Chains A and B, each alone.
Chain A
């Protein structure tokens, strides 16, 4: 009853407001504001990550990525790590790498086995978070994380250092491409049209589905239902945690990780 009254009031107001519609430009295409990521998405992603205060390395092979990650662990010497369960991390043999560096890994199996308070202590104490991504956006230097069992929200959030391993095939040119791929998975709305000036690399708009098929962003919520749902939590991360709250001066690492390191693997 209360809800009906609420809706009735809004309905009447919306109708009365028709007399006060604003002057707007109509008929602008959905793709207005599309920028794109240039010809080399790996380099562009790395440049933009550095531009927003992160660190990024582009490597040419899995082997080179493993070496870079080993170096990183040597430098940082964390005692424990929060890790995603992800095919790319398995290919990197992350578990073995962590063991070789005496880093205690807290992945899904390990965390799920802990009782709640012990789990809380473990996630709060971790010195590093190691994840892959659901996608990355070259134009803005953005990492996209999609929550699911094995890909915890906290891995990219609680530790002071977040390391993300990104394969070239996961990189999208523009923010618009990400939402087009979500829409595609959600299949109810039209997609961003291919722009004449957009680069014709494999991962630009037309190639979005390849990334989303490989690591689906949206999953079937209910097998009987045709609909697919977005993940319960999808977060776009653009650089290390920042605040300008004291005298408008930039300070990093106030809540989220103060260091964001991105390893981009070309050709994968």
Chain B
């Protein structure tokens, strides 16, 4: 199997990791199929949905309105969750959240935990903290289980093991099985089902994420296709849910709108296979379900984002549609982005959560083509936010070299003056456009060489459009 260590835990600079990913033939084959599978299913599902655009607008409006009064909705959610007999923990950062969860587990003496896929637990690096506290935590989403055994980071929001072929998966799981597994998908899934059933049956606690939390009823909405989220909340006696604080929605009546757009955007389904609405712990007389429920509500930098110009990034419902649509993601794969969240939304979220300076390549890892915004179920203006991040980046002292800073200034000056722009385009067509054979420059000089190291540069046309138009267009 591939030994590319960009798949593992450590953070890699975008340029190095993407160069590795681009030279990985197996990964390129898998990524090449993404647009025709998940991407196409997403487009078809929205195409068949008559009011798809209005529904997305509605979901968007609910998010915007909710965030405007987020404190009130969180208070309502906490009141209702506690009224039902649950416990709520408000945590400012990852450390507080980890401590809260470890505290609950310690109080119950819980040593074995089953986990249902949660990006938020990835965000706070919960698994490492559990391991340090000698709590055995098993991921139960099939994809998450595979990468947990392999020691990889998730490469896609909804398909965390997307970067592995069936043969890779067989190689990863065979040592666990104690026998060679074939690369037949059904056999691999059957092995995981059997193995994870044992884990579910003996687990002391279940940890899940939350897709939506309904304030007015204290209900947690958890969506899965495999059923592992249901098992995690049906068999263990203790349920701990963790959510980013932006996941709250005010009313039960808002839920169907989000379910309809989430399933279509994520996997092209009208509705995901399982949608659980969990309202408090199991009631008296019920034979299954958790007897105790905890809800961890996490800030971890979200309030900083909420009060700033990139507030809209908090609309994200973690469907992965922007990844499938993005020509950059489909070239470099999820691990190149370094953070927990990959793709276009990751290029926004990772600099916001982990720092802009340390992730300065991410806002530039986009052609700003707009495919992400078009695919987004809540129409997040991702390209606009990437441009804002680029601006912020360039305002930081020392971020740009003197020559580059001068070049941007000159460019800005040029673009603001019609006369200068006119002169510059005239010069470029006359000086470059007419002397370059076949329209491509093989090598640029000096500091611009980086561009032509891996591709040719399109030369200016021999004639400007405005000249052509003056000559031909008016006929």
Contacts and interface: CB of A to CB of B under 8 A. Distances in A.
Interface of A: 2-3, 5-7, 9-18, 20-22, 24-26, 28, 30, 32-35, 52, 108, 111-112, 119-120, 123-124, 139-140, 142, 147-149, 152-154, 157-158, 174-176, 178-180, 182-183, 186, 188-192, 221, 229-249, 251, 253-257
Nearest to A255: B227
Nearest to B36: A248
A20 B308 contact: yes
A247 B31 CA distance: 10
A79 B189 CA distance: 24
Interface in B57-109: 57-58, 60-61, 64-65, 67-71, 74-75, 84, 90, 92
Interface in B302-328: 303-304, 306-312, 315
29 contacts: A5-B92, A6-B90, A9-B299, A10-B70, A14-B69, A14-B306, A16-B307, A21-B64, A25-B58, A33-B49, A149-B287, A152-B288, A153-B289, A154-B234, A176-B256, A189-B216, A229-B217, A229-B279, A230-B219, A230-B252, A232-B289, A233-B234, A235-B230, A242-B225, A242-B226, A246-B188, A248-B33, A254-B189, A254-B228
B307 A13 contact: yes
A116 to B, nearest CB: 10
A184 to B, nearest CB: 10
Contact of A17 (B201, B289, B306): B306
Nearest to B223: A236
Nearest to A137: B271
A256 B311 contact: no
A155 to B, nearest CB: 9
B287 A232 contact: no
B217 A149 contact: no
B225 A14 contact: no
B185 A247 contact: yes
B136 to A, nearest CB: 19
A217 B196 CA distance: 32
Contacts of B408: none
Interface in B5-59: 30, 33-34, 37-38, 49-52, 54-55, 57-58
Given A243-B225, A246-B161, A249-B185, A255 B279 contact: no
Given A24-B64, A190-B253, A241 B280 contact: no
Contacts of B270: 139-140, 238
Interface in B214-240: 216-217, 219, 225-228, 230-231, 233-235
B384 to A, nearest CB: 10
A239 B275 CA distance: 12
Contacts of A22: 60, 64, 311-312, 315, 381
A175 B259 contact: yes
B288 A254 contact: no
Nearest to B282: A232
A50 to B, nearest CB: 14
Interface in B280-297: 280-283, 285-289
A158 B234 CA distance: 10
A20 B287 contact: no
A231 B277 CA distance: 9
Contact of B289 (A35, A233, A245, A253): A233
Contact of A237 (B30, B164, B273, B309): B273
Contacts of B287: 108, 111-112, 119, 149, 152
A88 B159 CA distance: 40
Contacts of B61: 24-26, 28
B276 A246 contact: no
A234 B54 contact: no
B308 A16 contact: yes
Contacts of A243: 142-143, 189, 225-226
B411 to A, nearest CB: 27
Contact of A124 (B68, B141, B201, B274): B201
B256 A33 contact: yes
Given A9-B299, A10-B306, A248-B162, A180 B253 contact: yes
A128 to B, nearest CB: 16
Nearest to A28: B58
Contacts of A183: 252-253
A13 B159 CA distance: 33
A241 B252 contact: no
A254 to B, nearest CB: 5
B71 A239 contact: no
A181 B216 CA distance: 15
